[in-house]
């Protein structure tokens, strides 16, 4: 299992996972526009040529916004989501990101538990943020640990 940047060639497999998991899903063009941007970090977990998971982060100065987190349905609950998030956070911190934000459906307990394990805390609720079905978003933020100065 390896972690690497998402490439245009991955989009077919990514879109298969995306449409299975999300309503409404991102479009292929949506992913495509971010793959070449310097202010975006899109990663995949690959095993023997198959994409098992992916995530995306947009960066502005020292802040990041997680746009996507997905693990292929038949490979969930193996720790891949944890590995992916942990890797994303480390790489973001290496690029000077100190605060990471995300939003998640309030009913998505697996994802919320995972984010809390990764150090994200609850900021608030954005009412009726999601469609298909309509649902509130839980806003979460993670601050990088400060390194002691002496």
Ligand X SMILES: CC(C)(COP(=O)(O)OP(=O)(O)OC[C@H]1O[C@@H](n2cnc3c(N)ncnc32)[C@H](O)[C@@H]1OP(=O)(O)O)[C@@H](O)C(=O)NCCC(=O)NCCS
Instruction: Report the SS3 class of residue 24.
Output: coil
Task: Give the active site residue among 46, 115, 116, 130.
Answer: 115
Query: 53 with 44: CB under 8 angstroms?
Result: yes
Choosing from 11, 19, 58, 76, the residue that interacts with ligand X (CB under 6 A) is: 76
Residue 115 a catalytic site member: yes
The only residue of 12, 39, 62, 78 in contact with ligand X, by rule CB under 6 A: 78
Q: Strands 2-5, 99-105: parallel, antiparallel or unpaired by DSSP?
A: unpaired
Count of residues engaged in binding ligand X, rule: CB under 6 A: 17
Catalytic residue flag (residue 12): no
Q: Which of 5, 103, 116, 129 is catalytic?
A: 103
How far apart, in whole angstroms, are the C-alpha atoms of residue 59 and residue 113?
Answer: 24
Q: Where are the alpha helices (DSSP H) in the chain?
A: 11-21, 28-35, 80-94, 109-117
For residues 74 and 149, which CB has a smaller minimum distance to ligand X in the complex?
74
Contacting residues toward ligand X, per CB under 6 A: 21, 69-71, 76-82, 104, 108, 110-111, 113-114
């Amino acid at each position: 299992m390896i972690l690497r940047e998402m490439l245009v060639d991955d989009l077919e497999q990514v879109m298969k996972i995306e449409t299975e998991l999300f309503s409404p899903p991102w479009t292929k063009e949506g992913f495509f526009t971010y793959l070449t941007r310097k202010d975006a970090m899109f990663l995949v977990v690959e095993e023997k040529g198959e994409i098992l998971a992916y995530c995306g982060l947009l960066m502005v100065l020292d802040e990041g916004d997680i746009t996507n987190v997905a693990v292929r349905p038949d490979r969930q609950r193996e720790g891949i989501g944890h590995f992916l998030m942990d890797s994303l956070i480390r790489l973001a911190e290496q690029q000077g990101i100190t605060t990471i934000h995300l939003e998640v459906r309030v009913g998505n307990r697996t994802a919320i538990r995972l984010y809390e394990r990764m150090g994200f805390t609850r900021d608030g609720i954005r009412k009726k943020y999601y469609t298909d079905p309509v649902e509130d978003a839980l806003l979460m933020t993670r601050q990088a640990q400060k390194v002691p100065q002496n």
